[in-house]
């Protein structure tokens, strides 16, 4: 089943009316986290979109009405459109937000580029779960199923012994905005073995959360599976990992991806780059 806009659009939309003044619009956009807002008429029909850049042009005319300055019309989508189609539209025209309208043109929601990212995260997780399911089934000759659900953070058994502080910060940002990817967990008896998502789990715990969204793999023959020690458990035992408290947080080094990026920047900003950049 294809993913539709209605599956990810935000229903509660910050917006302005076309009767609002430039000054009121500037104050509203400044207080919000958005670069601009949809504009509706008195009946709730979408008439345009005003950006911070447009408001700057009229910053010295704070008493003018929005209906006098905005360009009529804007890009829109409907709730039944495919999300991938909407993503292409947003990419093609460089849009950060796309208003969603009903058949009468009334504003009913909005999709942001962050919602697009979140949808791809969530669609990537089942593929990871399916890959792990096949690996476990082939290795231990026991079939598995998986489902999506909540897992208790304080009962997760880690299998990764070190995480990076800067990556934790990134995961906190994702969790606060609601587009963090679900973690991947194998349920074995009373144990919740954390396979993927250690940074997310630690970040969530630091934020005071008690549960996380997860894809949970469960054996179809739990008693037989419980008698086997899987490689992940041996790895956890070898590194003395029982709870999230046993994970080392590296606050000095960077996550490998960030470290690589930093090295590239230094390289391109260093003397060797300046000396050879003319040959590029």
For residue 273, the SS3 value is: helix
Within this chain, do residues 84 and 166 fall inside the same structural domain, yes or no? Answer: no
State the helix-helix crossing angle for 113-140 and 83-93, rounded to 10 degrees. 130
Domain that holds residue 110: 5-115
d(CA 105, CA 39): 12
* End residue of a domain, out of 115, 133, 154: 115
How far CA 65 is from CA of 86, 93, 145, in Å, comes to: 31, 27, 58
What mean pLDDT comes out for the span 231-259? Answer: 79
Q: Look at residue 14 in the predicted model and tell me its pLDDT.
A: 93
What mean pLDDT comes out for the span 119-140? Answer: 80
Q: Look at residue 121 in the predicted model and tell me its pLDDT.
A: 67
Contact 18, 41 (CB under 8 A): yes
What percent of the chain has a predicted confidence (pLDDT) above 90? 47
Within this chain, do residues 95 and 42 fall inside the same structural domain, yes or no? Answer: yes
Within this chain, do residues 248 and 159 fall inside the same structural domain, yes or no? Answer: yes
How far CA 78 is from CA of 95, 110, 189, in Å, comes to: 16, 10, 46
Residue range 145-158, pLDDT digits in tens: 999 899 999 999 99
Domain assignment present for 123? no
Q: What does 143-171 look like in DSSP terms, one character per residue?
A: -EEEEEEEEEGGGEE----EEEHHHHHHH
Look up the pTM and report it: 0.56
Domain assignment present for 136? no
Within this chain, do residues 18 and 71 fall inside the same structural domain, yes or no? Answer: yes
Count: domains in the chain: 2
């Amino acid at each position: 089943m294809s993913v539709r806009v209605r599956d990810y659009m935000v229903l509660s939309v910050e917006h302005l009316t076309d009767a609002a003044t430039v000054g009121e619009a500037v104050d509203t956009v400044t207080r919000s986290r958005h670069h601009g807002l949809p504009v509706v008429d008195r009946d709730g029909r979408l008439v345009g979109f005003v950006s911070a850049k447009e408001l700057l042009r009229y910053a010295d005319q704070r008493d003018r009405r929005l209906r006098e300055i905005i360009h009529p019309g804007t890009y829109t989508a409907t709730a039944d459109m495919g999300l991938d189609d909407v993503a292409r539209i947003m990419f093609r025209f460089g849009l950060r937000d796309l208003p969603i309208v009903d058949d009468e043109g009334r504003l009913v929601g909005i999709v942001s580029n962050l919602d697009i990212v979140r949808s791809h995260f969530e669609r990537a997780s089942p593929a990871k779960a399916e890959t792990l399911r096949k690996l476990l089934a082939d290795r231990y000759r026991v079939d598995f199923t998986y489902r999506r659900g909540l897992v208790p953070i304080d009962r997760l058994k880690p299998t990764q012994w070190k995480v990076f502080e800067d990556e934790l910060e990134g995961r906190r940002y994702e969790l606060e905005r609601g587009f963090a990817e679900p973690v991947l967990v194998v349920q074995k008896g009373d144990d919740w073995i954390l396979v993927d998502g250690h940074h997310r789990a630690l970040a969530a715990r630091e934020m005071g959360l008690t549960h996380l969204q997860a894809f949970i793999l469960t054996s179809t023959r739990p008693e037989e599976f419980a008698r086997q020690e899987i490689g992940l458990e041996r790895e956890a035992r070898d590194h003395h990992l029982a709870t999230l408290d046993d994970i080392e947080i590296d606050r000095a080094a960077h996550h490998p991806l960030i470290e690589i990026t930093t090295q590239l920047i230094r390289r391109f900003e260093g003397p060797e780059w300046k000396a050879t950049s003319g040959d590029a």
